[in-house]
Amino acid sequence: MIRFASFDLDGTVLDPRGAVAEGVVAGVRRLRRAGVRSFVNTGRPLASVRSIPRIDRLLAVCEDAVLVDDAEAVFRPATGRTEALAVLPGCALDQVRAQCRHFVVSCGGRLFASSRRAARSYALAYRLPQSVIEPGTGEPTRGAHRVTVFDGAPAGIDAVTVDPITPFAASVVRPAHSGKAAGLARFLAAFHAGDLSDVVAFGDGDADADLLARSAIGVAVRASSPAAVAAASVHLAGPLDEFLAEFDPYDRRWATRR
């Protein structure tokens, strides 16, 4: 059977107002009664997740773990602790500092800005109060899992991936071989072998494509990107809550439906 469910937020679980749709909460509750453990798996930083209207209603029916920053870190609501699932090498941070002036480091659920411009740009990008971003004087030298750069993409850094964020005119430096699929597999290793053979994943964007392709059942919601649709085994024509109302985690034939 399907034992785990992974839910993207923006474009997938959230409604057009940016709030959690009530029908989705009911659908996740139904999965829970069927024995499926559900997790939020989002590209948002932790502070941004906390700002979502009615997010507590969704988290209450999910497991006590929220995968943030494309599953580079996991937040435990019960304890308030955040743990890295993938860590940047220390030399990568040194190289970013040498090449760039304006960046934000993500570490342990905290955000550290190298400059006011970086803090302002990050806050605008993720719709956060600038006060949640700390000055770079406390910036970590190890244990960071992501750097968001606002003055050009750094080059020549080993063991990392550098991705552009076009809408924000920024770049993200993250550990190589990270992402929603790799991070979820690392996280689930605590429960079983650490593959995605018993996972149903829901998403809508390019960042979800690898996860949708590698999961037992990948579900691209109605308004998904071409990459997400191509990677998924199911492309929804209707709302997500309608799919959740009839989804049977014991029926693997869902994996072949489109």
Instruction: Return the pLDDT at 257.
Output: 54
Instruction: Return the pLDDT at 252.
Output: 65
- pTM higher than the cut 0.75: yes
Burial of 157 (0-12, 13-18, 19+ CB in 10 A): buried
Fold of the domain spanning 4-85+179-256: Rossmann fold (3.40.50)
Please report the sign of the dihedral spanned by the C-alpha atoms of residue 248, residue 53, residue 203, residue 188. negative
For residues 180 and 207, is the Cβ–Cβ distance under 8 A?
A: yes
Instruction: Give CA separation, 181 vs 7, 61, 200, in Å.
Output: 12, 22, 12
Instruction: Return the pLDDT at 234.
Output: 93
Q: Closest by alpha carbon to 9, among 64, 34, 46?
A: 46
For residues 42 and 9, is the Cβ–Cβ distance under 8 A?
A: yes
Give the residue extent of every domain in the chain: 4-85+179-256, 97-170
Whole-angstrom Cα distance, residue 84 to residue 108? 7
What's the average pLDDT block by block, 10 residues per block, for the chain (258 residues)? 94 90 94 95 94 92 95 93 90 90 93 95 93 86 89 86 85 92 92 83 95 96 94 94 92 62
Instruction: Return the pLDDT at 194.
Output: 66
Calculate the CA 82 to chain-centre distance: 14
217-237 burial: b if 16+ Cβ within 10 Å, else e:
bbbbbeebbebbbebbbbbbe
Torsion of CA 185, 187, 190, 194, to 10 degrees: 0
Pairing between β-strand 234-235 and β-strand 217-220 as defined by DSSP bridges: parallel
Instruction: Return the pLDDT at 254.
Output: 64
Pairing between β-strand 199-203 and β-strand 146-149 as defined by DSSP bridges: unpaired
Alpha helices in the chain (DSSP H): 22-33, 46-50, 55-61, 90-99, 116-126, 180-188, 209-214, 226-231, 240-246
Whole-angstrom Cα distance, residue 215 to residue 179? 14
Alpha helices in 139-239 (DSSP H): 180-188, 209-214, 226-231
Instruction: Return the pLDDT at 75.
Output: 95
Whole-angstrom Cα distance, residue 115 to residue 256? 50
Centre a 10 Å sphere on the Cβ of residue 202 and count the other Cβ atoms it contains.
Answer: 30
